Amino acid sequence: MTRTLLVAPLQHGAYATIGDALAAAPTGATVLVTPGIYREALFVGDITLRIAPADGSGAVELDASDLPYPALHVESGDVSLEGLTIRAGDLPAISARGATVALKQVVLSTGYGAAIDVRDRGTLRAHRVRVTAGQYGVVFEDSGGTMTDCELTDIADDGVIVRLGANPEIRGCTISRCQRRGIYVYQSGRPVIEGCEISHTGDAGIAVVHESAPTIRGCWIHDTRGAGVQIGRGCGGEVDRCRLENTGTPGVDVDATATTAVTIGDSDAAGRTGADNATAEPDRHDAEAVRSRLADLDAMVGLAAVKAEVRGLIDEIQVNEWRRGAGLVVDQTSHHLIFAGAPGTGKTTVARLYGRLLAALGVLAKGTFKEVSRRDLVGQFLGHTAEKTAAAFEEAKGGVLFIDEAYTLSRATSRADFFGQESIDMLVKLMEDHRDEVAVIAAGYTDEMVEFLSANPGLASRFSATIEFESYEPEELVLIAQRIAAASDYEFTDEASTLLYEHFARMRRDATFGNAREARKLFEAIRKAQAQRLLASGQRPDMTSLRRLAGEDVVATVL
């Protein structure tokens, strides 16, 4: 039977650190780790084991950024990692020597060095792995394995290096924003590179030199400063049916001495750039629906700065679609937002409209709206929170997840709020993994939202903008009250409207001021005062009297 070891620093009988568990683990063991940040570096020798979050939430972070070691070094062992975030400083996040390392849904970053460094006939099996920073992304030296559906971005040098006869299979991966090459193959490297997207590189998308012989099939290579594919002297292999757009000239640069077989197919047509390609695909957005939603936004009382911010976001999305169609560089953007300000300032209404606008633009599938608060995300025992947060996120897919009073997730009600932190850590992961499927809007008081954003190192970066909702001016509150009344077939007299303005002007409008909620509460009270006045008259009122809210009704309410 497989032995399972639990890492839970606060649980009696469990291991306090991952390293402690590894020291006690027999071969074949599974190490389950409760959510948290573990500031340690791990070494695994000649054993087989699996490391994963205890509850499957993926909220486990191994942080060796301040240590002079790789975050994980595997020597001749066989290690499987799932659902972890791993950070290193000036050494690889994962270093494998003659070892087998299997990674699934792991996020990696490092400062200087490779995020993953596999050497000495090691094997890497990486599926849905994300590398977010590093001097290099992945290095294969005299090693092999597979990379499937992985994403590498913001690499200071080369995204993937394949050298010294290494022969990995790299399929369905996305490699972007590398300052040098997306994939660099040299010293007799023989990789299979199939169905990958490589873009925004400082040099060639794929560079092949030193008698290497890769197989490059069905890749989309675009927006590269150098050639899409560059083949050097004496190299072989094949380049088959790759799509090239907005690359250096020529798109495929093959040295005269190379024996590489090149079949471009119809990629010349696919590679057109500029105005000729701008109309190649129809716009995904519904222009009429966008205009209608923006009109609904403009119809809201006040909020001039908020409206300008939202319009700016929508304009940027539309222009980016035009740039993408023209073959120009378009940076990946998040649609997650912070709505900060006092209650009753229209945050929920604007969030609904924002979701509908994104749906009309084709950014979100449905534009649905799910509102949650702390009680909807936080469970009653360790592990339950991650499950509830993931479930709420799943329900919001295709639309907006609106987290009201989001700061309560980071506000400790006791010595430490582990459950709220667990929810935040889970949100950080889900917001990145599903940034194209859900727009998360976190709302709350301005000062408290600053505290919320500091609860996780990666949280603030997940949000593209903070929109500040100012309290309404007295004249705006009068207009809101008038609209609330009209919706219920009431109307204020001129005298009543003047008295309303004077009342709102006297009110203290601090951070806790209810704004539109105050206007609604006041309307309800005035309506009751009118009812008492009409009943006291002893006569059946006519239609006009039933609708009219008079000055005396306001006076009876506010004095």
With vertex at residue 418, the alpha carbon angle to CA 412 and CA 421, rounded to the nearest 5 degrees, is: 80
pLDDT of residue 167: 95
What pLDDT sits at residue 469?
87
Q: Torsion over CA of 521, 523, 528 and 531, rounded to 10 degrees?
A: -170
Residue 275: per-residue pLDDT: 29
The confidence score (pLDDT) of residue 299 equals 82
- Global pTM? 0.51
Q: Quote the CA–CA distance of 35 and 385 in Å, as a whole number.
A: 11
Report the alpha-carbon distance of residue 543 to residue 362 in Å, rounded: 47
Q: Where are the alpha helices (DSSP H) in 121-213?
A: none
| Closest among 410, 434, 413 to 421, alpha carbons compared | 410
Q: Give residue 517's pLDDT.
A: 84
Give me the average pLDDT of each 10-residue run along the chain (559 residues).
88 94 95 95 94 80 94 95 94 95 95 92 96 95 95 95 95 94 95 95 94 94 92 93 88 90 56 32 59 82 86 84 73 82 86 87 82 82 76 86 85 55 83 83 86 80 86 89 86 92 83 79 90 88 88 88
Domain with CATH 2.160.20.10 in the chain: 58-273
Closest residue by Cα to residue 107 from 393, 398, 457, 343: 457
Q: How far apart are the first and last CA of the chain?
A: 77
Omega of the bond prior to 250 within 30 degrees of 0, cis? yes
Dihedral in degrees, nearest 10, Cα atoms 154, 401, 514, 311: 60
What residues does 208 pair with on adjacent strands?
185, 231
Give the residue range(s) of CATH 3.40.50.300 domains in the chain. 287-469
Report phi then psi at 230, rounded to 5.
Answer: -120, 120
HSE-CB at 489 with a 13 A cutoff on CA atoms is 5
Q: Where in the chain is the domain with CATH 1.10.8.60?
A: 474-558
Please report the beta strands in 106-164, taking only residues with DSSP state E, as ranges in sequence order. Answer: 107-109, 114-119, 123-127, 130-133, 136-141, 144-148, 151-155, 160-163
The predicted structure's pLDDT at residue 58: 56
Contact assessment for residue 480 and residue 437, using Cβ atoms and an 8 Å cutoff: no
CA-derived radius of gyration, the chain: 30
Q: Which fold has domain 474-558?
A: Helicase, Ruva Protein; domain 3 (1.10.8)
Residue 281: the pLDDT is: 37
Residue 267 has what pLDDT? 40
CATH code of the domain occupying 58-273: 2.160.20.10
Q: Which CATH architecture best describes the domain 287-469? A: 3-Layer(aba) Sandwich (3.40)
Using CA atoms, how far apart are residues 550 and 557, in angstroms rounded to an integer? Answer: 11
Question: DSSP letters along 402-469, please?
Answer: EETTGGGGTS-SSS--HHHHHHHHHHHHHHHHTTTT-EEEEEE-HHHHHHHHTTSTTHHHH-SEEEEE
Residue carrying the six token digits 């129809």: 282
Please state, in angstroms and rounded to a whole number, the distance separating the CA atoms of residues 9 and 438: 33
pLDDT of residue 541: 86
